[in-house]
């Protein structure tokens, strides 16, 4: 017998990636012994995505996928998987997730379907053009790099930058095309964005800024170049589209689950409850108010966020009557590896002021001020320092103290 | 109870330090240093949570 929520005999988790897996694991950790069904669109057991744009693009990597948990481990947890079965709809009256011709009934539901890369208009069916979100995408990119592809990345975001880095590591020509005048200026601010631009240039990546893509050139169905809206053409054997993602919620459009007006992500409370009782959401798909940062509505595409939210959503989904529902108390954190440099960010970049302390390049500490407090920190090649600044964001420390500590650390490492 | 680090897996991402800086610190070389390798039994749940947070499963507990 279950010792917790008596009405919940079956927890269905839609989305078999990190957030979904953590949801299943955390459900078991509560001691609940009901049925767990993990539904995934891909054919694979849950696997890790950060290496897709990092180690798995390395030339020594094979095609094999190592899942986060083996089939045996999932069996041991009592998790039933329905893989290769994308959710197609949600019947909240009948408490069923629709899977094409079939359906699975739930008592409690966790939505963890993640996000889907935006595609380039007119690129469908042209070989050599891909996004990078799945294992098979990574295999396609690595094989193209193995074959010596001239690489063009569209979009100078973190994933695109890592792909350019992988190409340059092999000595292959890499071009990044970015519509903004300064890469990442919207997410990190203009000055840190300019520092990131220099990392690309110093590594020999051809950075084309303030220019859009007007089309692709192809021969025999295979891409040969990217045509820019300034009239130039960049030759390409591999085009990786990294212009962002949208929450994978098409299957929820006809359901009463409230979605964000802009990107159609799932609107959640700080406990990850959706607008429909019994339904929770986690990971890249979920908007949530972050109480640490003035209740800002956030949707994060970070590994740590998916892990944390998956665990919390399942725990709350199974919380018994009268039991405390837990709220997110989170400081966003992500990292990215470019050309042998480690970029790390904690907190929020939504700030009143951004100040770079130390070198405007590797070794930089970038501080983000909100009011009189430290709200975010970006470091480049300071693995020892970043979590000290996280503690300052958490306290939260005063802006003056943050400036002092940053100067101190720069001096100490000079 | 002992904390083990697999240096071949550690990427110095610092989640363990974020969760439990009393026991873990990433060094300048980008590898974690365990500050107290044989902690008190009373700290087990706290340390377990930090170990479980490692994105590359570089940490483990040994009895």
Tens digit of each residue's pLDDT (9 = 90 or more) over A330-343: 999 999 999 999 99
Q: What ranges in A189-328 are assigned the alpha helix state H?
A: 190-202, 303-318
The model's pTM: 0.95
The predicted-structure confidence for A129-174, as pLDDT tens digits, reads as follows 999 999 999 999 999 999 999 999 999 999 999 999 999 999 999 9
Which class for A227: exposed (0-12), middle (13-18), buried (19 or more C-beta within 10 A)?
middle
Cβ–Cβ gap A383/B12 under 8 Å: yes
How many whole angstroms separate alpha carbon B52 and alpha carbon A117? 29
Q: At residue A3, does pLDDT exceed 70?
A: no
Q: Which of A26, A343, A387 has the most B C-beta neighbours within 10 Å, making it the best mutation to test the interface with B?
A: A387
3-state secondary structure of A414: coil
Q: State the residue for tokens 């610190």.
A: B25
In chain B, the residue whose alpha carbon lies closest to the alpha carbon of A391 is: B18
Q: What is the pLDDT of residue A105?
A: 98
- As a whole-number percent, the residues of chain B with pLDDT over 70 amount to 100
A-contacting residues in B 40-59 (Cβ below 8 Å): 53, 55
C-alpha of A345 from chain center: 14
Q: What ranges in chain B are assigned the alpha helix state H?
A: 15-19, 44-52
How many whole angstroms separate alpha carbon A105 and alpha carbon A402? 51
A356-364: Cβ within 8 A, 24+ apart = A356/A191, A356/A192, A356/A195, A357/A403, A357/A406, A357/A407, A357/A410, A358/A406, A358/A409, A358/A410, A359/A410, A360/A191, A360/A194, A360/A195, A360/A198, A361/A195, A361/A198, A361/A199, A361/A202, A362/A199, A363/A410, A363/A413, A364/A192, A364/A195
How many whole angstroms separate alpha carbon A35 and alpha carbon A387? 38
Cβ–Cβ gap A386/B14 under 8 Å: yes
3-state helix, strand, coil in chain A (%, to 5): 30, 30, 45
Q: Name which of B12, B18, B53 is nearest A390 (Cβ-Cβ).
A: B18
Mean pLDDT of A361-386: 97
- And the tokens for A372? 């009189």
Q: What is the pLDDT of residue A12?
A: 98
- As a whole-number percent, the residues of chain A with pLDDT over 90 amount to 93
How many whole angstroms separate alpha carbon B51 and alpha carbon B59? 5
How many whole angstroms separate alpha carbon A290 and alpha carbon A278? 21
Q: At residue A267, does pLDDT exceed 80?
A: yes
Q: At residue A329, does pLDDT exceed 80?
A: yes
What's the mean pLDDT when you consider all of chain A?
95
How many whole angstroms separate alpha carbon A57 and alpha carbon A2? 45
Cβ-proximal residues to A270 (8 Å cutoff; 6+ apart), any chain: A288, A289, A290, A291, A327, A328
Q: What is the pLDDT confidence band of residue A60, given thresholds at 50, 70 and 90?
A: confident
Q: State the residue for tokens 């070989």.
A: A127
Q: Which of B9, B10, B14, B58 has the most A C-beta neighbours within 10 Å, making it the best mutation to test the interface with A?
A: B14
Q: Name which of B14, B28, B55 is nearest A387 (Cβ-Cβ).
A: B14
Q: At residue A315, does pLDDT exceed 80?
A: yes
Measured CB to CB, residues of chain A less than 8 Å from chain B are: 48, 50, 303-304, 307, 331, 333, 335, 342, 344, 383-384, 386-387, 390-391, 413
The predicted-structure confidence for A219-262, as pLDDT tens digits, reads as follows 999 999 999 999 999 999 999 999 999 999 999 999 999 999 99
Q: What is the pLDDT of residue A7?
A: 82
Q: Name which of B15, B28, B30 is nearest A304 (Cβ-Cβ).
A: B15
- As a whole-number percent, the residues of chain A with pLDDT over 70 amount to 98
How many whole angstroms separate alpha carbon A384 and alpha carbon B46? 21
Tell how strand A89-91 and strand A96-99 pair up.
antiparallel
3-state secondary structure of A84: coil
Q: Residue A193 has what DSSP assignment?
A: H
CB atoms within 10 A of CB A161: 30
Q: What is the pLDDT confidence band of residue A6, given thresholds at 50, 70 and 90?
A: low
Mean pLDDT of A274-290: 97
Tell how strand B24-26 and strand B32-34 pair up.
antiparallel
Closest CA–CA distance from residue B58 to any residue of chain A (Å): 13
Q: State the residue for tokens 């300064």.
A: A182
Q: What is the pLDDT confidence band of residue B37, given thresholds at 50, 70 and 90?
A: confident
Mean pLDDT of A19-43: 96
Q: What is the pLDDT confidence band of residue A391, given thresholds at 50, 70 and 90?
A: very high
Q: What is the pLDDT of residue A1?
A: 39
| Whether A195 contacts A364, CB under 8 Å | yes
What are the C-alpha distances in Å from A221 to residues A118, A138, A224, A241? 21, 21, 9, 17
Q: What is the pLDDT confidence band of residue A413, given thresholds at 50, 70 and 90?
A: confident
Q: Which residues of A122-143 are buried (b: 16+ CB within 10 A; e: fewer)?
A: ebeebebbbbbbbbebbbbbbe
Cβ neighbours of B17 in A, within 8 Å: 387
In chain B, the residue whose alpha carbon lies closest to the alpha carbon of A311 is: B53
Q: Name which of A335, A384, A413 is nearest B13 (Cβ-Cβ).
A: A335
Q: State the residue for tokens 């897709």.
A: A52
How many whole angstroms separate alpha carbon A359 and alpha carbon A65? 40
Least confident of A2-6, A84-88, A159-163: A2-6
Q: What is the pLDDT of residue A39?
A: 98
Cβ–Cβ gap A333/B30 under 8 Å: no
Q: What is the pLDDT confidence band of residue A2, given thresholds at 50, 70 and 90?
A: very low
Q: Name which of B18, B25, B30 is nearest A333 (Cβ-Cβ).
A: B18
A-contacting residues in B 15-34 (Cβ below 8 Å): 15, 17-18, 21, 25-28, 30
The predicted-structure confidence for A165-219, as pLDDT tens digits, reads as follows 999 999 999 999 999 999 999 999 999 999 999 999 999 999 999 999 999 999 9
Strand partners, A357: A365
Dihedral pair phi/psi, residue A196, rounded to 5°: -65, -40
Least confident of A60-69, A193-202, A332-341, A403-412: A60-69
């Amino acid at each position: 017998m279950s010792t917790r929520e008596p009405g919940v005999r079956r927890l269905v988790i839609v989305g078999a990636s990190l957030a979904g897996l953590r949801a299943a694991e955390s459900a078991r950790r509560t001691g609940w012994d009901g049925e767990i069904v993990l539904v995934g669109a891909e054919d694979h057991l849950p696997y890790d995505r950060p290496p897709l744009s990092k180690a798995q693009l390395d030339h020594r990597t094979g095609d094999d996928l190592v899942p986060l948990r083996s089939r045996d481990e999932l069996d041991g947890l009592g998790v039933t998987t329905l893989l290769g079965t994308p959710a197609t709809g949600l019947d909240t009256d009948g408490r069923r997730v629709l899977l094409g011709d079939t359906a699975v009934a739930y008592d409690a539901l966790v939505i963890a379907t993640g996000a889907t890369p935006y595609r380039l208009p007119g690129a469908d069916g042209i070989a050599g053009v891909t996004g990078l979100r799945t294992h098979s995408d990574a295999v396609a990119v690595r094989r193209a790099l193995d074959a010596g592809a001239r690489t063009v990345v569209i979009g100078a975001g973190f994933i695109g930058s890592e792909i350019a880095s992988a190409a340059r590591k092999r000595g292959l020509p890499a071009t990044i095309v970015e519509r903004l005048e300064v890469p990442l200026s919207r997410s990190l601010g203009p000055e840190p964005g300019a520092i990131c631009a220099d990392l690309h240039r110093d590594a020999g990546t051809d950075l084309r800024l303030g220019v859009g893509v007007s089309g692709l050139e192809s021969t025999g169905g295979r891409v040969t170049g990217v045509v820019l809206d300034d009239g130039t053409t960049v030759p390409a054997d591999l085009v990786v589209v990294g212009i962002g993602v949208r929450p994978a919620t098409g299957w929820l459009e006809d359901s009463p689950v409230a979605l964000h007006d802009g990107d159609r992500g799932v609107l959640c409370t700080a406990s990850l409850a959706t607008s429909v009782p019994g339904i929770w959401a986690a990971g890249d798909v979920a908007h949530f108010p972050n109480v640490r940062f003035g209740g800002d509505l956030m949707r994060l595409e970070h590994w740590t966020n998916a892990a944390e939210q998956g665990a919390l959503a399942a725990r709350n989904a199974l919380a018994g009557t009268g039991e405390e529902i837990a709220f997110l108390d989170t400081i966003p954190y992500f990292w990215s590896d470019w050309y042998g440099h480690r970029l790390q960010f904690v907190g929020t970049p939504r700030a009143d002021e951004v100040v770079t302390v130390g070198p405007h390049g590797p070794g930089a500490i970038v501080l983000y001020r909100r009011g009189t407090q430290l709200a975010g920190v970006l470091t480049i090649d300071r693995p020892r320092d970043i979590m000290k600044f996280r503690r300052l964001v958490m306290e939260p420390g005063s802006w003056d103290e943050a400036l002092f500590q940053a100067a101190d650390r720069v001096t100490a490492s000079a | 109870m002992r904390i083990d680090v697999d240096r071949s897996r550690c990427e110095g991402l610092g989640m363990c330090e974020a969760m439990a800086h009393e026991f873990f610190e990433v060094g300048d070389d980008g590898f974690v240093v365990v500050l107290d390798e044989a902690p008190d039994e009373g700290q087990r749940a706290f340390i377990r949570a930090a170990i479980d947070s490692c994105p590359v499963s570089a940490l483990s507990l040994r009895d």
